[in-house]
Structures are given as structure tokens and as C-alpha cells.
A and B are shown apart, each in its own frame.
Chain A
Amino acid sequence: MHEILDLLQNNSRLTAAQIAVLTGRKEQEVKTMIEKLEADKTIIKYFTLINWEKAGVEKVSALIEVKMAPQRDVGFDAVAERIYRFPEVKTVHLMSGAYDLAVLVEEVTMKEVAMFVATKLATIENVLSTATHFVLKTYKQNGFILEDKESNKRLVVTP
């Protein structure tokens, strides 16, 4: 099962038939397994990794560190929810260490980030402070090196 997940994580366009060949299983068996994984939300969503810069989209991403005061019974969850519901927020992690939430906003303009932090994020009660770091360049994302300069030039025929 993990092998199927690995394959799909790497290439979500693989069909059940292809996965069946690669893993030595029956197509129907793979189909059933994927359906189950989708149904129980082990597989949450299929998406595409895009190099937006290459597509000519000049938008920015920022990592915002958020410190907050935990609340009785719900800890950080309630505040986190108020933050992650914003559509420009793409990823939110609760962190150990110097701050509490790592909030990643992506594909927005610089001004939108500023507005978001000043008028939305910082004003939420129990948010104690924020620190915004803009992404200057992305080298690697989701395990993929965006501009891989490495080339493995093998001879075309070797013994």
C-alpha cells in the first residue's frame, strides 16, 4: 500500500493499470485500494507542482512566524483555525521551539502580505506577535529540485 502511495505522490497521473504493472498487482486490486485510500482521506488531494516563476507569474511567498497564547481546553487549535481558513494561507504547522505557528502564504503580492499580516493576522486575539520572512528563491519543493542542473550523461552503450 505504501508503495502505491509513494508512486502516486511522485506522479498522481499514474493510472491504476500502470501502477498494477509497476507493482506486480492486479489492476482491479489497485483500483480498489486507491478508492479506499481516497474514501478514508489517506489520499487527500491530487495536485500539480508548478514553477510559477517560469509561468511568468511574479508573486511572492512568505513564511510568517506566529507567537500566540494558548487557550483553555483548545490550546492553539482555535486560533490556528481562524488563521488557516484564509485562502491565501497555503500551509500551517504548529511548531515546537521559538514560535508556535508557521504560516505559509503563497502566490500573493507583497502588498497583500502586508495587509494580511497587519489587518488580519496581528489583530486576532491571542496572537502575541508575528515575524514575516519573504521567500527570495525556491530551490526545492515537495522533494523536487526546481532547476536541476545535475546531468547523468551515460554512454549510450556500455557492457
Chain B
Amino acid sequence: MRTKWSEYINPAVQQIPPSGIRRFFDLATEMEGVISLGVGEPDFVTPWHIREACIYSLHRGRTTYTSNHGLLELREGIADYLSSQGARYNPRKEILVTVGVSEALDLAFRTLICPGDEVIIPTPCYVSYLPCTELAGGVPVTVATSMEDQFRLTADKLEAAITPKSKVLLLCFPNNPTGAVMDRENLLKIAEVVRKHDLLVISDEVYDRLTYTGQHTCFAALPGMQERTIVLNGFSKAYAMTGWRLGYAAANEEFIAAMTKIHQYTMLCAPITAQVSALEALRHGKAAMEDMVAHYNRRRRLVVQGFKEIGLPCFEPGGAFYAFPYIGNTGLTATEFAENLLLEEKVAVIPGDVFGPGGEDCVRCSYASSVEDLTEALQRMGRFLKRRGLQNSKVVYI
């Protein structure tokens, strides 16, 4: 045996830097009384009718594998949903049920990317995008969005990032970590560039239902875009089903067939229990989902107003459950801000730089927490700023 295990480990894996979130996790977990705004999942438990349907399915002994593609009924439900968004898919051939958007993302990359292909990724972005691109042999090309543009991708910035090796554009709106949304008008401009340069698009729309300003536009629903788009979506956020691990990809028949090859040999199928429950969510989950969305929306207003009052500039997030306030005027880096805030006031937020270029001067605050916890966290943050002579007004909503 060689002296070090690392000598056996694939250099491509070794190269991946440890997650920036991980360090925070360790620090925050050890402390008592922490209010965490660092959680990227709903604080709601999965609605009862969905859990009940799950229990019933177990009673009935539904414990087998399903088709590699997933239960046909579920794919039909997904196709119906996508059709309501303006994109029509054949449930038999153009939809693949996966273990979360996470698996769908990995499959899409591995199916698409040849060594050296460039993937254009607007940042700040979900932490998996860059490492998954690299693991698939691709080259991530980041495009930093900015607060001035409401963290939207602009056609100009996209144009500037394109090279002869550009193959895919990865979109995620509503966005983690910024909460940015892009309306139809904004997306049409992106679609034009996509068409001009013959790009493909992977559109991660896992936060689509969590849109508060305007209406979500599915990228595949734009004229001419369905044929070049792989839509990824899932049940984690809309139905508070993160732990069930269920998502899907919708795309062209040939592409889904290719993805399914990898899926069948690596995953076989998504868990049947989660599939049955997801079907229940699609069929009867609308009211519960809308209720949760209404709660997020109130909390969104609360934190945006709160940040304003304690003196943190924050652009108004239109979707997901994150706010991304600007901390550049505190004289601290995002990491220093987050670390000191955690140590002094026991509030956990995530430094924006872990989400890539453009996030350096911001911190991600998840508002998927109770109004009471959010209020307390805002008070503590206000105190933290005041100690530094930065708080500019009184917090009135307490």
C-alpha cells in the first residue's frame, strides 16, 4: 500500500475545494442558542396529507422498484404541471424522475459535457453547480451578476462570456442564494443570445412556485426554447419535501433516453415511496403549498423591511426564501461578518462568497424560519451593527 490514501484518490476529486458552508456548519452546530438563517430548506414539515398518503402506500405494500423513468402516473402529473407552465412534454419519453434535482443536475452534466466544454454559470449560484461541472469534465465559466441588475443575468454579460467552447448555459431563477427572479421580458433577451450562439440551457427551476413578484416563466415555455432546454425541478422546496429526495428532468426524447442510461445503472430508479408521495403532492397539494408560500412572502417582507431599518441595504428578492443583504459598508468581509455575527450574537448567516463571484459583499439569510425567530435575529443583527456604529435607525416592528 502506498503511504497516503490521497495517492489513491482521483485528483479530480481531490481538486474540489471543501464546501465553504461546511466550516460554518461545524462552528454553528457546536453553539447553543443559535438562530440560524443559514438553512436552505423549508421550516415546514411536509403537509400531512402527503405523509398520510405515504403511510398508506406502505400499508399497501408499495415497496418495489419502479420503471427507470419513474411511475408513469407521476410523470403524467409532472407533464400536466409543466403544460400549465406552457411547456408540453410527452410523459412516456420526455420526463425522467430522479433522486432530487441534485441527481438530475449531475445526470444532465454527465450526459452533455465533453472534456473541455464550457458551462456558463451566472453567479452567485447554488454551491453544487461548479463542482458538478468539473466532475463531469466541463469548465465552469462564471458570470457575476450584480445587485444593480437585481442579480439578474443580462444579455450583455452573457454575450461577453461566450467562447467557441461554450456549450451550456445554466440558469437558476428564482435564485439561490440571491432570491433574484427573471421575468419573461428578461428571459426573452437571454433566449435571443442562446439562439444566436446555439447554446443549450439547463434551467434549475426548483424554486418556481416560490415566486412572489410577478409570475414565474419556465424557460422551456419561451418561443423556440423547449428544444434546447433541460428543465430541472422537484418537490423539495414547494412542498417542503427535501428529505424525500425527489425531482425530475424534462427534455427532448433523445436526451432523456441518454440520461436514463446513466440513471438506470447508477440509481435504477427514484424511491417508490417518495414517488407515490410526490404524486399526492401534485394532485392535492396546491392549497397547502400556497399557504406555505403566503407565509414565506410575509417573512420576506419582514426581513427586507428589517434589513432596511437596521441599515443593511438589501435588494428585494422576488423568489425562493433567501435575502442577500449587502454588508460591504460594514468594513468587514462577508466571512468576517458571518463569523463575528455568529460569535457575538449567535445568528448564523452564510457569507456570500461561497456562492461564487458577485457574492463577496453580501450574506445569504434564509427566511424559512418563524416570524419570532426572524424578528429576534433581526434584533440581534441590529445590535451587532450598532456596536460598530452602523445602525442607522430604530427597529420599529418589534
* Physical interaction between A and B: yes
Taking beta carbons and an 8 Å cutoff, which residues of A are in contact with B?
Answer: 3, 7, 17-18, 21-24, 150, 152, 154-159
CB distance from B353 to the nearest CB of A (A): 14
- Chain B residue nearest in CB terms to A27: B396
* A156 B39 Cβ-Cβ under 8 A: yes
Chain A residues with CB under 8 Å of B40's CB are 158-159
CB distance from A115 to the nearest CB of B (A): 41
* B21 A23 Cβ-Cβ under 8 A: no
- Chain B residue nearest in CB terms to A151: B45
Point out the residue from B44, B128, B371 that lies within 8 Å of A159, measured CB to CB: B128
Q: Indicate with 1 or 0, residue by residue over B44-80, a CB within 8 angstroms of chain A CB atoms.
A: 1100000000000000000000000000000000000
Chain B residues with CB under 8 Å of A21's CB are 301-302, 305, 397
Point out the residue from A22, A24, A155, A157 that lies within 8 Å of B350, measured CB to CB: A157
Interface residues on B, range: 20 to 34
Chain B residues with CB under 8 Å of A7's CB are 298
Q: Please, how many angstroms separate the alpha-carbon atoms of A22 and B294 in the complex? A: 10
* A157 B397 Cβ-Cβ under 8 A: no
CB distance from A105 to the nearest CB of B (A): 31
Which of B39, B45, B176, B348 has most A Cβ within 10 Å? B39
* B44 A23 Cβ-Cβ under 8 A: no
Point out the residue from B126, B301, B348, B397 that lies within 8 Å of A24, measured CB to CB: B301
Q: Please, how many angstroms separate the alpha-carbon atoms of A23 and B295 in the complex? A: 10
Chain B residues with CB under 8 Å of A155's CB are 25, 29, 39
CB distance from A92 to the nearest CB of B (A): 30
- Chain A residue nearest in CB terms to B396: A17
Q: Please, how many angstroms separate the alpha-carbon atoms of A18 and B396 in the complex? A: 9
Could you list 21 A-B pairs, sorted by A, with CB under 8 Å? A3-B294, A21-B305, A21-B397, A22-B299, A22-B301, A22-B302, A22-B371, A152-B45, A154-B36, A156-B25, A156-B29, A157-B24, A157-B25, A157-B28, A157-B29, A157-B36, A157-B38, A157-B39, A157-B350, A158-B41, A159-B126
* A17 B348 Cβ-Cβ under 8 A: no
- Chain A residue nearest in CB terms to B127: A159
Chain A residues with CB under 8 Å of B298's CB are 7, 22-23
